[in-house]
Structure formats: C-alpha cells, structure tokens
Amino acid sequence: MIGFVGLDNIGLEGIEREYDRYMHGSLKIVTTQKDRKGRNLNPMDLDYNYTTRGNDVVLTIDEVLQNIAEKELETACLKWESNGGSVIIMEPKTGKILAVANYPTYDLNNAFSAGSDYMRNRAFIDLYEPGSAFKIITASALINENLVNTNDSIYCENGFYNINGRIVHDSEGYGSLTFGEVLEKSSNIGMVKFASRLSGEKFYEYIKAFGLNEKTGAGIPETIGFIKSIADWTGYSMGTIPYGHEISVTAIQMLSAVNAIANDGIIMKPYIIQSIMSGDSSIMESKPTQFKNPISKRTASIMRDLLTMAVKNGTGRNAQVEGYSVAGKTGTSQKSAGYGKGYMPGKYVSSFVGLLPVENPLISMIVIIDEPKGSYYGGTVACPVFKNIAEQSMQYLKISQGVKLVANY
C-alpha cells in the first residue's frame, strides 16, 4: 500500500508513487553575484538550502488495526499454506479505510530484493470471482424490487439442478428452503431460482448500481472489476452470476458494495488519504462523500437481519464474535483458468465479508485467502480470520454492544 522510492527519491510504487508530486521537494533558485572565477560573492549571506521540503500525506490507516490485520492474515496464510491473501477494514458510515493488509509482503526499506508478486497491493489489484458472497447483491436486488419475502419458499432440487443444459450444484442436497435459509445455507440452486424473478437487464442495473463495474476512487491504484455487458450475457448467465460466478471483482470493490448494507443503503466513497499537509497547514482534506445509493434503507435493514442469521445459524458461524452481533456472508469460488475459459481444478479462493456490531455498524471487513490447502470453504478458512481480527478490533475500539458510540481514532 505504501510503496517505496528509488535511489533518486522518486516514488516507484503505491502511495509513494501516486502522491510523489506532493511529497517530493522542489529545487529552489538562489540568485547571487559571482566573480570571474565563478566564486559566490558574500557567501556567508546565502541560504544554501537549495530544496524546499515536500508535503506530508496523512493516511486514514489506524496503525493498531493495521497491525492486527497483518498478523492474523499472515497466521492464516501460513496455516493453510496459501498463495496469499488480503484483509481490508473500513468504517462503512464514512468510507474511511482503516487497514489494508496483504500477504506475502516485503520490507519497504529493502524493496529491490522483493519480487513483483510481493509488491502488488492484492486488495486493490487482484481480481477474483466472489462466489457466494455475491448473493448479498442478488438478494438485495430481489428485496429492493419487492420480488421476494424472507419467508418465501422454493424447492432446491436436492442439490442438483439443470438450467439450460448446465448443472448447478449445492454443497448439500436441500429440499424446500425459505429465502432466508437460502442465504444461511448458501444454496446456489435456491438463489438461482429466486433470481429468475429478475430480468437480466434489471439485475445488471443493480450490479452497476453497487459500483462493481468501476473503480472505487479510493485514492490509490486499483483494478476495474470484470462484468460482461448485458449484450454479452448468454443463456447460462442467470444460472451463474446470481451466486458470484462469471463475474470478477477486487476486494475493495466487494467491501465497498457491502457497505450499503451497513449504511442504510448508501455507499460512501472509500478513501485512504486523510489530508495533505504543508507544515501545519492543510492543502487537502478528505471528507465523507456519498458514492452510490443502490438500495433503500428498508432493504438494507432486512439484509442486515438475514446476514446476521447467516452468521448465527449458517455458513458464517465461525465468524461469530462473543458479545457482538455480526452480519456477513461466506464465499467459496474456483479460480478461473489462465486462458479465460473454465476453472482450474482444485484451485479456490475463500472469503468472508461482514460488519459489526449489527445494531450500529462500526467496522466492515473483507477477508480473502487465495488457494488454501487442506480446506477451501470460506466458512472454514476465512471466517476465523474475520473473528480474530474483529475480536481484537472491538477490544481496541472499546465499543459495547448496542451502544451507539463513535470511536476516537
């Protein structure tokens, strides 16, 4: 995230590169008289400081939360022998980014000894299929369009469903499930069947409304997620996109979208630059700014309740934090093949995205573990990371459950 500078003190990666024009000092012109041999006259009167000091860039990062996130992410990646992972912690009501952890990482003071795989900011650059975490978007669209009630029931085909010649599977065979239970148990079949109540065009509008087809504008380099134009959707698209396949996003995009659930339907623009200071004076100050408003306050409230049950009774059980209510959704997705078609056998991305306390969401967080070994379900791999970080974060922020307080950063 921070990046580094080269031997000439020019920023080469991360914030160092993006804001080099602010931080880099400038040459100062000094006018003087010289004699025939080029020697300055009256040299004692000259100011020999030929450069002006650069500005300070102040981040929104909380160093304690950053440290917690880095340690817990590293522990999990080593435990599961994964390729790497990312954690982002945000303040959903303002858009402040409180922590960005990536693993593997490198020593910024010895950057040239690290490879590019260590340098990239995975949380903002790497694309992945969100898998079942994307059901948050699908469910929100259905509720917002008044196409479902939470107690509506649908038959889930005992785990095996043929749609237009392709088979949709569930991890277990389910019969009839309510809409809420579809989220709790993360039934792909149930979500695809409910999603059929939406037209592809309307669903596509909601995906864009959540900002998943554009950069978040968080203030540092990021990748645009990949969403096919509605004109390119096939007869299978509505049988895969509702549960997070055939679409790619970044971690910051996914967390930003889910912040709508935490913030009564409003997505605040993510930002990581708090201010730019010239000495004691501010030349730029970031303020919370509304980015998107994809769903109503009512929809957000219903979704918080549903996602709370998904953690309490469903696939997100391992994300529960004692003394606090957590809402969130697991994700487990296969990795796309390098040539762009199909999936790599045995290669998965495990994730969990959530928020707490549900009554007054103070933080939201996404955890992504790339290619874990031994197990790959988001509930097993990513949820415990969320839990460990959230527990320590709540202790640090000294927030009591149900009490509306503002953390003193």
**Rg of the Cα atoms in the chain:** 24
Say how far residue 378 (Cα) sits from the centre of its chain. Answer: 15
CB neighbours of 61 closer than 8 A, spacing ≥ 6?
Answer: 1, 97, 98, 99, 100, 272
Is 278 considered catalytic here?
A: no
Please report where in the chains the tokens 């950069």 appear, as a residue: 215
Q: Give the separation between CA 64 and CA 162, rounded to whole angstroms.
A: 49
Amino acid in the structure at residue 21 = R
Do 299 and 101 touch, CB atoms closer than 8 A? no
Asked if residue 357 has a cis previous peptide bond (ω within 30° of 0), the answer is: yes
Dist CA 178 CA 160 (whole Å): 18
Catalytic residue selected from 132, 248, 256, 393: 132
Whether omega before 43 lies within 30 degrees of 0, making that bond cis, reads: no
Q: How far apart are CA 117 and CA 217, in angstroms?
A: 23
Among 325, 336, 327, 396, residue whose Cα is nearest residue 66: 396
Identify the helix (H) or strand (E) that includes residue 303: helix 297-312
Q: Which residues are catalytic?
A: 132
